[in-house]
Amino acid sequence: MTNRRIQKLFDDAKRLHQKGSLSAAGKLYQKILQLAPKHSDSLHMLGILAYQTDRFEIAAGLFRQAITHNKGEPSYFNNLGNALQALGRPNEAEPCYKFALELDPDNADIYNNLGSAILAQGRAKDAVDHYNRALALRPDFAQAHFNMAGALLKLEKPKDALTHFERTTVLDPGHAEAHRNTGYIHQHLRNIEAATACYLRAIALDPNDAETHFFLGSAHQDQERFSEAEQAYRLALSINPNHAKANNNLGYILQLRGELEKAIFQFNQALKITPDYPDAINNLGYALQQQGNLEEALSLYERTLALDPNYAEAHNNIGNIYKEQGNFDAAASAYDRALQLKPELAIAHFNRADIKTFEPDDDEVAALESLGANTKNMSPQAARYTYFALAKALDDIGDYPKAFEALLKGNALARAAFAYDEDAMTNYTQRLISAFEHKLFEREQTTGTTAQAPIFIVGMPRSGTTLIEQILSSHPHVQALGEMLHMDETINAAFRTKQTPPSYPDILATLKTKDLAEVGRDYLSRIPEIASGKTRFTDKLPANFFNVGLIYLTLPNARIIHVDRDPLDTCVSCFSKLFRRGQEFTYELGELGRYYRRYFELMAHWRAVLPENSLLDVRYENLVEDVESQSRRLIEYCGLEWDDRCLRFYETKRTVDTASAVQVRKPAYRGSIGRWRKYAPYIAPLRDELDGILSD
């Protein structure tokens, strides 16, 4: 057959190839090779066809055969390099590209490919040189810009990389990965809004890319838009259930919401996929710590550090366990180690500040001031931790104007992170007062269960409830269960899940004695088993002051202790604390004052409608002035025999995970009485709201 006939067959095969008729094209290439076994172009095109169908080893073999018959064609060497790259053998691909460049020294594609082979071998700086050569030959080469950006990221030059990713998106607007990576760098540079916009463009181009949905979720998470973050993570997992990071981050969101069992499930899912994933191990430990499983949590933190000894967050979490247990020296050492590894770790500064008394010449004060001056580069969460730690340090050294300035900044950031519905809270308080009328308690004299175990400790946060629990838990027959949500869970299960009105508390008028007894039994069923020898337990959720009336009706033999403290001291103490969860009303002085007023009104209502001696009021100031007489009063009210260990409450070994974990390890002290006076010039909005309640 003549060369003309072979050329026609080859041209026909290429046309079919270009149209996507790969099988038909392949048959023609094979026919040519039967007629002319050394036809290098057909060998080369068969190699391209194999490459296009992911048969890279076959492709490499065909390219080598083509080169055997024609060593002067640069595209053969270039495509052999591509096949070897696809096989994960960049060291073999590199000389192929260099041979190709000897034959075609002005080919931008080959320089770009050579750069990628070199980058794959870890030589990012050399790769940049070759990408620069490609771009010098063809400035509008989109893929070379994209690859250049990747190399610059390896060299830790994110701003330079951003320029090339953005150029890629201009030259190739449909390049979804370039949009995603542009977003990634914006996020790294704390340009979160810009990052979000880039991720959304990438998703519009490629809705089925799990990685982009994950990055979008992380951007929402950085902005504390947790509902949107959860949605993005769930979309990522619907596309790729084996995305370990999406499982881990979804667990983190669920953990923030207090859905610990669901969070633990997600962390375990992440670890099934990637067993040695430090973030997931550390997060699982923290979830278990929140459940009170300190031993297993500590084991997980140690496992994290075995994988990565420099994992600062795990050291910080170990410090938290020691703090809860009252081992403050060990806690300080753990926090110090975390900060040695990661000096900018704001949460470790925050935790360290909580157990430390700062001195005027303390270097840590200057370090915190420096961090506080650079919060624009932090996440909102890190900025909050920084401001509250700084406020604590400045308060310790007596610089109250600057301390309050830091508190204002930290509280403003905290308030922005919460959806607090003040009107709903006010309305709920009014409905409670209307529903729990005096005649309700006259009618229901023998309601509820006969259980005598529960001791409820209620009041405002920072009023002394933890101190009361510490005194009671020092008695051998009392077990402290801390801040439990069980009464609210009981109310939700009994009333708020019902589909027909009226809702709680309006439904109370229709309830019978047996209904109320069932509510009490449901609450008790939620309580964990208490230790042998214990006859009473404490439920120290301050916000149970909303539930005092229902507690009396459903658990009439329970004890209710209301802790009262000077309103200004209480509120200023609340304003100075960044709470781990809840307490959304504490972060703005006006809202805080109005909440206190609602609390004050509701407690006055309970005293007015409940039978005498239904609750015990304990004044915090009286307690710290005369610990023994007030402690004896508490123990007597709870129906217990006196025990001197209640006076040595600060020696009692138990886990305390509230904001008062440090204070209750010390004897009662008067230093916190009148603390508000330090900040008197700055709290006018609070005092205005408390007008008429204050005694001075």
Residue 666 reports pLDDT greater than 80: no
At 373-385, the pLDDT tens digits run 888 888 888 999 9
pLDDT band at 508 (very low <50, low <70, confident <90, very high): confident
| Percent of the chain residues topping a pLDDT of 70 | 94
What pLDDT is recorded for position 418? 82
Mean pLDDT, range 409-417, rounded to an integer: 92
Give the separation between CA 85 and CA 80, rounded to whole angstroms: 9
**Is the pTM for the entire model greater than 0.95?**
no
The CA-based dihedral angle spanning residues 540, 543, 548, 554, taken in that order and rounded to the nearest 10 degrees: -70
At 679-694, the pLDDT tens digits run 999 999 999 999 888 7
At 242-253, the pLDDT tens digits run 999 999 999 999
**Structure tokens given for 445:** 């004299």
At 138-189, the pLDDT tens digits run 999 999 999 999 999 999 999 999 999 999 999 999 999 999 999 999 999 8
Mean pLDDT, range 602-607, rounded to an integer: 96
The answer to whether 241-342 and 422-689 have equal CATH topology is no
Residue 394 reports pLDDT greater than 60: yes
- The SS3 call for residue 231 is helix
Task: For the chain, state the CA radius of gyration.
Answer: 34
Residue 608, C-beta contacts closer than 8 angstroms, at least 6 positions apart: 438
The region of weakest confidence among 7-16, 160-169, 258-267 is 7-16
Question: How many residues comprise the chain?
Answer: 696
pLDDT band at 660 (very low <50, low <70, confident <90, very high): very low
**Structure tokens given for 634:** 């508490």
Give the separation between CA 580 and CA 573, rounded to whole angstroms: 15
**Structure tokens given for 295:** 């031993």
**Structure tokens given for 22:** 């790969």
CB neighbours of residue 427 within 10 Å: 11
Give the separation between CA 521 and CA 513, rounded to whole angstroms: 13
Mean pLDDT, range 536-540, rounded to an integer: 92
CB neighbours of residue 413 within 10 Å: 23
The region of weakest confidence among 94-103, 268-277, 491-500 is 491-500
Q: What is the CATH number of domain 422-689?
A: 3.40.50.300
**Residue 559 host element (H or E):** strand 559-564
The torsion angles phi and psi of 539, rounded to 5 degrees, stand at -115, 100
Q: Which fold has domain 3-239?
A: 1.25.40
Helix (DSSP H) and strand (DSSP E) numbers for the chain = 35, 5
Give the separation between CA 160 and CA 144, rounded to whole angstroms: 14
Cβ-based burial of 613 (10 A; exposed 0-12, middle 13-18, buried ≥19): exposed
The CA-based dihedral angle spanning residues 429, 432, 433, 436, taken in that order and rounded to the nearest 10 degrees: -160
pLDDT band at 664 (very low <50, low <70, confident <90, very high): very low
CB neighbours of residue 57 within 10 Å: 12
**What ranges do the domains of the chain cover?**
3-239, 241-342, 422-689
What pLDDT is recorded for position 659? 45
What pLDDT is recorded for position 327? 87
* Residue owning tokens 């009618």: 443
* Residue owning tokens 């095109």: 45
What pLDDT is recorded for position 653? 65
Distances (CA, A) of 155 to 125, 177, 178, 258, 528: 7, 20, 18, 40, 54
Give the separation between CA 97 and CA 516, rounded to whole angstroms: 82
Mean pLDDT, range 301-311, rounded to an integer: 96
**Structure tokens given for 254:** 């669920």
* Residue owning tokens 């370090």: 367
Contact 634, 468 (CB under 8 A): yes
Contact 83, 75 (CB under 8 A): no
**Residue 152 host element (H or E):** helix 142-154
The region of weakest confidence among 263-277, 291-305, 362-376 is 362-376
What pLDDT is recorded for position 665? 44
**Side chain identity at residue 197, one-letter code:** A
Cβ-based burial of 602 (10 A; exposed 0-12, middle 13-18, buried ≥19): buried
| Percent of the chain residues topping a pLDDT of 90 | 64
633 vs 658, higher pLDDT: 633
Give the separation between CA 555 and CA 517, rounded to whole angstroms: 8
- Name the CATH architecture for the domain at 241-342: Alpha Horseshoe (1.25)
pLDDT band at 654 (very low <50, low <70, confident <90, very high): very low
| Residues paired with 617 in a beta bridge | 562
What pLDDT is recorded for position 668? 58
Preceding omega of 502 cis (within 30 degrees of 0)? yes
At 473-501, the pLDDT tens digits run 899 999 888 888 888 988 888 876 555 56
pLDDT band at 328 (very low <50, low <70, confident <90, very high): confident
Mean pLDDT, range 497-517, rounded to an integer: 75
What pLDDT is recorded for position 350? 93
CB neighbours of residue 226 within 10 Å: 17
Give the separation between CA 264 and CA 283, rounded to whole angstroms: 9
CA 638 to chain centre: 40
What pLDDT is recorded for position 541? 94
Give the separation between CA 500 and CA 304, rounded to whole angstroms: 50
Mean pLDDT, range 525-541, rounded to an integer: 89
Give the separation between CA 693 and CA 600, rounded to whole angstroms: 8
- The SS3 call for residue 214 is helix
Residue 308 reports pLDDT greater than 90: yes
- The SS3 call for residue 456 is strand
CB neighbours of residue 695 within 10 Å: 6
Label each residue of 253-322 as H, E or C: HHHHCCCHHHHHHHHHHHHHHCCCCHHHHHHHHHHHHHCCCHHHHHHHHHHHHHHCCCCHHHHHHHHHHH
Residue 589 reports pLDDT greater than 80: yes
At 99-116, the pLDDT tens digits run 999 999 999 999 999 999
Contact 362, 393 (CB under 8 A): yes
Average pLDDT of the chain to the nearest whole number: 90
